[in-house]
Amino acid sequence: MVPAMAIGLTLAAAPQDVVAEAKKRPVAAKKGSPADRQTAQRTAHKKKGVVQARPAQPQAIPVARKAAAATAPGWDEPEIQSSAVAVIDQRTGAILYEKNANAVMPIASITKLMTAMVVLDAKPDLDEIMTISHADMDTLKGTSSRLAIGTQLTREEMLRLALMSSENRAAAALSRHYPGGRPAFVAAMNAKARELGLKDTHFADATGLSPANVSSAHDLIGLVAAAHSYPLIREFSTSEQYQVAIKGRPQIFRNTNALVKSDSWSIGLSKTGFISEAGKCLVMQAWFDNRPTIIVLLDSWGKLTRIGDANRIRRWIESAAAQGGALRS
């Protein structure tokens, strides 16, 4: 490992309510009007001391490059298969593990975390009805969607499906309904990246279907930390499932990250991604050994590699603590 050095990233301090919110119960169906649901959600957050209307500002924490080693002799780093990796202690900024963390590469639907932040920063009407149109279809990759042309959902529901189920048409519709349209939305995404100090990050669209959406594992640590400061992003990205009516018929959408259903995981934020140029990607905020941790896994191949890597990282951190060899931080 190279000597310790400072890396200027922007991290969010772990909110006090994260442990309570980390495991989400599945939302099986809509209950009441969108306005009723929104009011109930905001009331619940206020009871927990979280103001949902204005996201918490990220707290600048220096990220120090440190060896991910245990105090116990002979403790080896995990064998991680993803091409680019960064694992960080969110509370202290200490890097626990990294691999090709400065490599700039496509990030696929990890993009949607920035999409969500830009949407929420504009403080829009979350109850406004939006309609999926032909302009929201994927003409770049030709992917399909369960959101048929003419589907009408609230902006809140579009945001939930974009984060939870990585629905590309939902993300496209959100950018199309932004003041100034898609060009203004993409400009706002890149402006937000600059504001967060993400020097390796660039966006070309709101979905992540474009391989021109690029970042590094180090930069994505800052992106995840910033997104984690938004209560709705934490909630929607970790929901197990959600039901909406598509042309009058109920449809259940599920989270693209199977780990949110696991009782052995405490996940505060999650997002998956895939296009051929990016491979399979996964970013999460999770708790291990009472430690708020951010994991970034890029360019994984094979159906279960990114999930396997996440589990290996978790076991590595928890085993070190259990054997009295707590990772330095």
Known active-site residue 82: no
Q: Is 83 a catalytic residue?
A: no
Main-chain phi, psi angles of 26, to 5 degrees = -65, 140
Candidates 87, 82, 84; CA nearest to 68 is 87
Dihedral, CA of residue 226, residue 126, residue 121 and residue 7, to nearest 10? 10
d(CA 15, CA 55): 11
- What are the Cα distances from residue 222, in Å, to 19, 150, 290, 294, 316? 20, 36, 21, 9, 23
Which residue of the set 166, 175, 239, 300 is catalytic?
166
Contact 201, 111 (CB under 8 A): no
Catalytic site includes residue 216: no
DSSP-assigned letter for residue 213: -
What residue type is 328 in one-letter code? R
Give dist(CA 184, CA 187) in Å, integer. Answer: 5
Q: Which two tokens stand for residue 165?
A: 């189920």
- The answer to whether 310 touches 295, Cβ cutoff 8 Å, is yes
Of the residues 82, 109, 237, 266, only one is catalytic, namely 109
Query: Choosing from 24, 112, 271, 280, which is the catalytic residue?
Result: 112
CA of residue 31 relative to chain centroid, distance: 26
Q: How far is it, in rounded angstroms, from Cα 95 to Cα 86?
A: 7
> Three-class SS of residue 152?
strand
- Given a contact cutoff of 8 angstroms between Cβ atoms, the answer to whether 314 and 265 are in contact is yes
Residues with catalytic function? 109, 112, 166
